[in-house]
Structure 1
Amino acid sequence: MSRNAVKKVVLAYSGGLDTSVILKWLQQEYGCEVVTFTADVGQGEEVAPARAKAEAAGIKEIYIEDLREEFVRDFVYPMFRANAIYEGEYLLGTSIARPLIAKRLVEIAAETGADAISHGATGKGNDQVRFELGAYGLNPEIKIIAPWREWDLLSREKLMAYAAEHGIAIEQKRDGSKSPYSMDANLLHISYEGYDLEDPWVEPGRDMWRWTVDPQDAPDQPQELALTFSRGDITAIDGKAMTPAEVLAELNRIGGAHGIGRADIVENRYVGMKSRGCYETPGGTIMLKAHRAMESLTLDREAAHLKDELMPRYAELIYNGYWFSPEREMLQAAIDQTQAVVNGVVRLKLYKGNVMVVGRKSDTDSLFDESIATFEEDAGAYDQGDATGFIRLNALRLRVAGRRKG
């Protein structure tokens, strides 16, 4: 791609060191106009200062948007209908935010007549893939500029030197207040990478965690709560109706207070390397446990088992950046069809890092029939003698194989 061909670019902009340098670098190296886009997906940091920083850099078109409701409603909730979890542990907190940001980048490019979009993801990570696959899935002709794959500013020291050379104001936090970790946060989770975590034998320090108390310091009394489900989505906590973003924010608050949702993982990145990361996902951990409990009562056995077979593939698609792919949309349609009956209430107890299901009910869609399941006399609801033929038929192939072995 010729740099001269790019006249205007939309930059995913946080106002931090990396994207502040990228903004200036695009202006210098591409000689283009820059549009900044700052998304509030619940990262818990003030996004308003990004406007002042962009204005100071001479930016005329500045987009700052609150996407929290859209994020949870259209991305997090559909993912949790699938019970998605990557490699048995990761609840996909960073992965699921990237397609939304890519979507808005492409939309803003169309609105402003920009030729390209740009992001600050490095050439070693998954996010570059997620941003770009998402963008190409929505606009096959979009041009994408990934500075980390072009420049030689491959360390924090070089970035700081570039900022100083070009008069880029970088906020300096007081000693001891800045985390040494590479962190990503949104309404679903916060992640930590780098620094001493690069040695997978090293235990994370107690002061690293931001959202959750240490489970051993959590309250000595459990907290009970009831979650109401409608078509697979949580719509109320303890009977109080809430929007999707409100639900997740409240579950984060409650779960964090009980030390719920910590994970320490070595995962396989899509680009080929193994990476160690730590995650806090208190609300998501509660949601997953409760959703599976609701499905256990309302989903047919074979539908539930097939969902569980499809889930690792679905989770891998999200992790690798294929949210807008035909196969993810196909799986989503199948998953969503099953959720029509996932209605009712799940009762939970939270205690020192644990989420325990203590009750579940569905007045309209429960498949649990006490008259059949009872260990007491069932008044003919189930003829136990029928099991003889059932077992003999299913044992036939085993008996034939056993005779051959004998």
Structure 2
Amino acid sequence: MPTSAELHERRVAAVPRGVSQATAIYAQRAKNAEIWSEDGKRYIDFGAGIAVVNTGHQHPRIVAAVEQQMKLFSHVCFQVTPYESYVRLAERLNAIAPVAAPAKTMLLSTGAEAVENAVKVARAYTGRPGIISFSGGFHGRTHMGMALTGKVVPYKKGFGPFPADIYNVAFPNTYHGVSGEQSLAAINALFKYSADPSSIAAIIIEPVQGEGGFYIAPFDFLRALRELCDEHGILLIADEIQTGFARTGKMFALEHVGIKADVVTMAKGLAGGFPLSAITGRADVMDAASPGGLGGTYAGNPVACAAAHAVLDAIDEEGLCERANAIGRITLDRCNQIKDRSNLNCVGDVRGLGAMCAIELVKDTASAEPAPQLTQTLMKVANENWLILLSCGTYGNVIRFLVPLTASDAIVREGMDIFETSLAEAVTRAA
């Protein structure tokens, strides 16, 4: 059996350097919130495959559903010979997504593909070209996804030119001095100086930014954005790819706000580790594209659909929305205790919604200057102590906690113990 070090040498020789990796840990098997490496070491997983396995690794219900579907067929292409599981999943998503009824859903394979198609249906419905997105937002690695994404390095550098008619405005980030009022003013300034609102098809926003740093959009701002869209005939696209499927304590983050989007993009947690994404939207919007204008060879793969049905069943029957809130309380309480420790002066902010939690590291709390090097050191030390962490943020100084929602309190607390020890060690190393 190869060691992780040996595999890493092979990886460097065989895989492009542009495909980055957060750790040098090579997974051999995983169960719930734990991963065992090729070296036989056990790690607590606080990344969940970047919010994909909200239901944990190898959930028995998902494994059984996938095994059963594999006995029937693995692929026929929905556009050639459709199948019941796709239709039933669309019906289920239509019923729960935060969009005005009646709704319709199309299934795809990746989050970026969902975003691409959300833009397509918005343009088809409105007859307008323009799309507004936000600084710090992340919407995928396709050219349209990169154009919408509000961070240059590493996502956009060297890959231009990007599609036209994309406008980026400041996200309301109160910790970094941007209020909701300022963000709305930036949109209105855009309407005055750069693009008439009659040319804008949609505004796309993450209710909680993922790669951007787990910043929570103020609820009043999102309500005002809904009103602004209604005033100008602009569609509101909620990117719930990282926030969806119980992560924030509700099935979708927009439910906290009490408004409806016109289109919702989703992926990641939808199918418990299988490649599946979806866009759910108002039926009139979703029907705007001509027959044949939407689709994809692998879109709505039947094995992934079987997994998604199992995920939705597990979330409902195991109370994973409530579980997300319980995990979030453990995580945020511990982070705030760490922030208050007298010998640590590196925690600038603690925030979270449900189990989508983050801690922002700074060089010192007085200056609030981002500390990306400390963040990288912390991730390395955590790995040495058998904890898997993920960073994020425009400045690379945010640790995000994405523990599977099926993790026990004991596992969550064990992971937080390791996190606190690792942070103290990282601070000492950086001194």
Please say whether Structure 1 and Structure 2 have the same fold, judged by a TM-score greater than 0.5: no
TM-score, structure 1 length as denominator?
Answer: 0.30
Structure with greater Cα Rg: 1
TM-score, structure 2 length as denominator?
Answer: 0.29
1 or 2 for the larger relative contact order (CA 8 Å, sep ≥6)? 2
